[in-house]
Chains A and B, each alone.
Chain A
């Protein structure tokens, strides 16, 4: 089989799943002309013919140009605008503030964690926290100086059953909570998609009843770096002894849901914490958190070094 024939068959292979019928001779004739007669480089010839098929036969562009992006590990993602595939576990879902974003959060594999964005126009099924997926044909991007992956129309998400472990190396940071972020305290989430409601409305599902949840989004700062952290109901209960039921009761007693936020600020803001977790960009995934205070031997060591 000649090179031209091989390339022709490769193109036909891509069309196998579409309902468009194209004559093999037609493609082969063009291929021969370009490759053998005019000595056009093979990749250019293939591209030219695919463009021709899109124009003349109405073949969906994505189908022809969909590449099998290389399977990489998260630590290898260092450049924007690379098409890649990833096997990763969804470790944290955030609220998307934009109607253009379907889901946003963190995914991880054994080499690291990274932010991901699934665009609404991608029309993907939603992913679930704790489940692992093969993310095919996603594109890397740099946002606010950090890498992330974007999942768009030409991407595919396939749930996989294999267990994906997160990085074994946890770090411990001792820092102060210097700021609370929006949507902290006693919040309401959509019954259907779990998004945080704003003024009783869900971006996706409009007016819903919603259900209560307790959480804190905060900035932890150790004087060298700042990290965004999320404390869930369990973390909050452990730190300040406030459960979701307690929070609901506080809100009812004060006739104000914000009183929960004030109470949490009073007890957490400006305090030092020892946080164990995995770092991904500016996010720190909290595994364990406790109040921190120094011991007298810390002072002695430092003073001895001064003498």
Chain B
């Protein structure tokens, strides 16, 4: 039987990159438990692509570094992520991207490194980033509340493993909201007058002139 599709959770990089504990779900599914007690199997993150690097020459294995307003994380794309690989050549640095992917834990000698395996990557605009920050802030605050109330088993487990400083997370959410709110306000101001001018916009398509039409040599002769 095919399982129900895993929902793409919204987490800030700050919370994501601090997640190290894996939980075995039903069957073969693995989840990554975040410090705020969220189970991740698939995430949706919007951020700026800061670095894009092919690991070795012509390996078609790529390492990306992406940052949202709260911090950065790594993502790796290889042949097992065909849809993400398809677009990788078109990505520029820096550029705003939305990534859907699965978290992976690499066990280093001294610590664990969390990265993302993108299933899909899309170049997006600021509106997507803005809504993502708003939505992710909401979800994060809900998780903080569940942690305060020790509402569920995952919250209790997260306390046990991470013992997070909730105030720190609240500050991170606040900062992210503030930084984006300013942008949204500026955009709203810009768009207001634009709407009024819309009618005066002139359509230049279909006005392609050839060089010859501007031959003014006969004027010179006069």
Contact = CB atoms under 8 A, between A and B. Distances in A.
Contacts of A176: 8, 44, 98, 128, 132
Interface string B43-65: 01010000000000000000000
Contacts of A270: 46, 97-100, 120-124, 128
Contacts, number: 104
Interface string A177-220: 01100000000000000000000000000000000000000010
Contacts of A1: none
Interface residues on B, range: 35 or more
A145 B4 contact: yes
B134 interface: yes
B184 A294 contact: yes
Contacts of A221: 7-8, 44, 100
Contacts of A282: 4-5
Given A221-B7, A223-B135, A296 B44 contact: no
Interface in B148-185: 170, 173-174, 177-178, 180-181, 184-185
A271 B128 contact: yes
A179 B131 CA distance: 18
B113 to A, nearest CB: 24
Given A266-B123, A303-B177, A303-B181, A223 B134 contact: no
A265 interface: yes
Interface in A255-307: 265-266, 269-272, 282, 291-296, 298-300, 302-303, 305-306
Interface string A152-177: 00000000000000000000001010
B138 interface: yes
B139 A223 contact: yes
A140 B131 CA distance: 40
A303 B134 contact: no
B7 A225 contact: yes
A144 interface: yes
A231 B18 CA distance: 38
B188 interface: yes
Contacts of B99: 270
Contacts of A179: 100, 119-120
A126 B137 CA distance: 49
A295 B174 contact: no
A90 to B, nearest CB: 25
A303 B128 contact: no
Contacts of A292: 131
A293 B46 CA distance: 14
Contacts of B6: 226
B134 A302 contact: yes
Nearest to A293: B127
A223 B9 contact: yes
Contacts of B123: 266, 270
Contacts of A302: 134, 137-138, 141, 177
A9 to B, nearest CB: 46
Contacts of A224: 7
Contacts of B170: 306
Nearest to A291: B127
7 contacts: A179-B100, A221-B44, A223-B9, A266-B122, A271-B98, A271-B124, A296-B184
Given A271-B122, A272-B128, A282-B4, 13 more contacts: A144-B1, A145-B3, A174-B131, A176-B44, A176-B128, A179-B120, A225-B7, A226-B7, A270-B100, A270-B121, A293-B128, A302-B137, A303-B174
Interface of A: 144-145, 174, 176, 178-179, 219, 221, 223-226, 265-266, 269-272, 282, 291-296, 298-300, 302-303, 305-306
